[in-house]
Amino acid sequence: MTGALPAPLLEMMRRGVSVNVASRDAALRPSLMRAMASEVSVDGRRITLFLARSQSAQLLQDVASTGRLAVVFSEPATHLSVQVKAMAAQLRPATEADRPVLERYLASMEIELSRVRIPAELTRALLAWRLDDLVAVTFTPHEAYDQTPGAKSGNLLAGAA
């Protein structure tokens, strides 16, 4: 990806906000699922998402076969959103080493969703996971788009034009 994401968007992504992941199969049929957690490197050039295998079979199959995915990070209280796209993702089982990332993400989402009056108990139910059911999907984004509702939505932020 050429260029860097604007600092406020990168900070939002790194903090741990709502993450929806999409891909498609060879016939262009879409698949979509909410990520159970995310981790974004300091510079935003390496992103790992965690998907529940039991809920994301088609999405994981599509990512494994095409390597392509589109991911929207969105702050629930403001709808500040960014979409990143990748063309080469790697999948692996989640491990005990991932547990701190998963726990940190859940704690962040409890705060984020409490701002829109969703109680922590509901957030914990929404994002409940079993480590042996999680798949880590790691990629380097090649494009990023503003997805915040408004006049600039869809504008390229970084990456190939």
Cα pseudo-dihedral 103, 81, 42, 121, rounded to 10:
-10
The predicted pLDDT at position 48 comes to 98
| Number of other CB atoms surrounding residue 101 within 10 Å | 17
DSSP state letters, 112-158: HHHTTT--HHHHHHHT---GGGEEEEEE--SEEEE-SSSTTTT-EEE
To which residue do tokens 């692996």 refer?
Answer: 92
Q: What digits encode the pLDDT tens for the residues 68-105?
A: 999 999 999 999 999 999 999 999 999 999 999 999 99
To which residue do tokens 């262009």 refer?
Answer: 28
Full-model pTM = 0.93
Q: What digits encode the pLDDT tens for the residues 15-74?
A: 999 999 999 999 999 999 999 999 999 999 999 999 999 999 999 999 999 999 999 999
Run of H or E residues at 40: strand 37-40
